[in-house]
Structure 1
């Protein structure tokens, strides 16, 4: 069984890519992974749904005319945004064409624009949105400076970015289960919560609300825990880790992971940051 479906890419702290070709290749790989998972996403995205619901709890109650749902996926946030704000303009953007296709089918009668684009190369005029919402998408970006600078330009004075993202310490059970089996990196090396806040501040944003919350999901088996990553498109590997592995090593990993079972089941834990930041008026 290939290792590539089980290893998550290092995101905010990924090593610098050496060329534009490598950058383009990486983004293409991300899009392809999510393209393949578009049909299965909603079935397996319990964690993503829980995070989205929590993110809506920190949304500021403001007058909103234009909204960008950045990394919309299958469009789960679209009806919630419409219900809460009734914006004149709602744009749903994603790197994956197939995710956008699923989102269109889920909201066929709603006046929403769907755009396939990269969060680090926003295709909008300056000061286009009152609010940018993004749930568990920004960790796929490579350059925080580019990301938060671009978002700052895209938001109107006094507007907000409200987002969730993974931080250091996520998925420790997978890392623990692999220890002793090989020397490869099998989990993301995400930004620490402190460095994430610094990255946002460097973009010119004023942080109005920020919290780091641990979330643990429970599964009947290690296979189901891993599927919760793979089946939503979040599995990606680069370099030597992309090589296949023997079935015996994979079975050894599953045995190690199964030993972490508790009364509630097999755990998979995340450290999730919820950030509300405002652009100066």
Structure 2
């Protein structure tokens, strides 16, 4: 289970250091946004959920200059940082909010983009249901997140030192797809790729993770400082992964998108029969 407060504090502290260390996040964000080249969409309102310092927000402003772009993040320093990029065509609207409770009206958004953020949700099915609530009919959700093999070297090395979780939990690709279907998104497409970052030493690897705010936010993590003895044991255990003179850091990147269909409102009565709102049918057929 994610400790949301710990995650928010970590990202708040990382606002100033994030851009220097977030090469991976920028790369997968760019790869995600390139998929919009194949989508026929003219969004009026776009929300960048988990915007961080605003990389995707800036790219969306460039791609859709007439759209209203909202940079939404649960860490206020990140939101403020996203509004300091003076070289953009215009600044995004900033909104500090939790992706699990969007302060947005029903059916008010044409496009939700979320890069490396939904892994911080404590209830993914409810989060997707919230996304669907604010999206207009024929609206699009596009996202990236991380799968369970992410940072597997850290997880395996610490397993030789103690039995506490040292990596935040990540959801399997198939469970992500099931959550989309459960939220009644249409035509979900999910795919995955493995990306390996390499480092000459462990210290800069761990420093990069800290700099982007991706601390261990598992609620069952060990509280308190890591002693020198335990840290040395972890470092030694990590060395088993060294190959070709470098240490790997594996990231399982999941890409996904899904649509909101132009649904006809319906409900079930007490006897379980499905009833359709006739006025809605008339509106949709005109």
Q: TM-score range by the shorter chain?
A: 0.7 to 0.9
Distance in 2 (CA, whole Å) between partners of 1:189 and 1:124 is 28
Distance in 1 (CA, whole Å) between partners of 2:221 and 2:174 is 30
The residue that corresponds to 1:62 in the other structure is 41
Q: How many residues align?
A: 258
From 115, 125, 130, give the equivalent of 2:110: 130
Distance in 2 (CA, whole Å) between partners of 1:246 and 1:236 is 16
1:186-220 Cα deviation digits (max 9, x unpaired) = 22332111111001110110134321111111112
**Is the partner of 1:105 in helix, strand or coil?**
coil
From 83, 92, 95, give the equivalent of 1:115: 95
The residue that corresponds to 1:20 in the other structure is none
Deviation, structure 1 residue 63: 1.3
Query: 8 Å contact 1:70–1:134 — kept in the other structure?
Result: yes
Change (3 A) 1:245 1:111: closer
Deviation, structure 1 residue 167: 1.2
Q: Does 1:100 find its partner at 2:79?
A: yes
Change (3 A) 1:240 1:278: closer
Query: 8 Å contact 1:66–1:89 — kept in the other structure?
Result: yes
The residue that corresponds to 1:154 in the other structure is 134
Distance in 2 (CA, whole Å) between partners of 1:111 and 1:187 is 34
In structure 2, runs of 5+ residues without a counterpart are 263-286
Distance in 2 (CA, whole Å) between partners of 1:27 and 1:264 is 37
TM-score (norm 1): 0.87
The residue that corresponds to 2:233 in the other structure is 252
The residue that corresponds to 2:268 in the other structure is none
The residue that corresponds to 1:89 in the other structure is 68
Change (3 A) 1:30 1:175: closer
**Is the partner of 1:258 in helix, strand or coil?**
helix
Q: Does 1:178 find its partner at 2:158?
A: yes
**Is the partner of 1:52 in helix, strand or coil?**
helix
From 28, 37, 40, give the equivalent of 2:14: 37
Deviation, structure 1 residue 128: 1.1
Q: Does 1:167 find its partner at 2:147?
A: yes
Greater Rg over alpha carbons, structure = 2
Distance in 1 (CA, whole Å) between partners of 2:173 and 2:220 is 27
In structure 1, runs of 5+ residues without a counterpart are 1-9, 12-25
The residue that corresponds to 1:72 in the other structure is 51
1:136-187 Cα deviation digits (max 9, x unpaired) = 0111010122201110011110010000011122111112212321111222
Distance in 2 (CA, whole Å) between partners of 1:241 and 1:87 is 48
TM-score (norm 2): 0.85
Query: After the TM superposition, which residues 1-12 of structure 1 pair with which residues of structure 2 at under 5 Å, given as runs?
Result: 10-11=1-2
Q: Which has the higher contact order (CA 8 A, sep 6+)?
A: 1
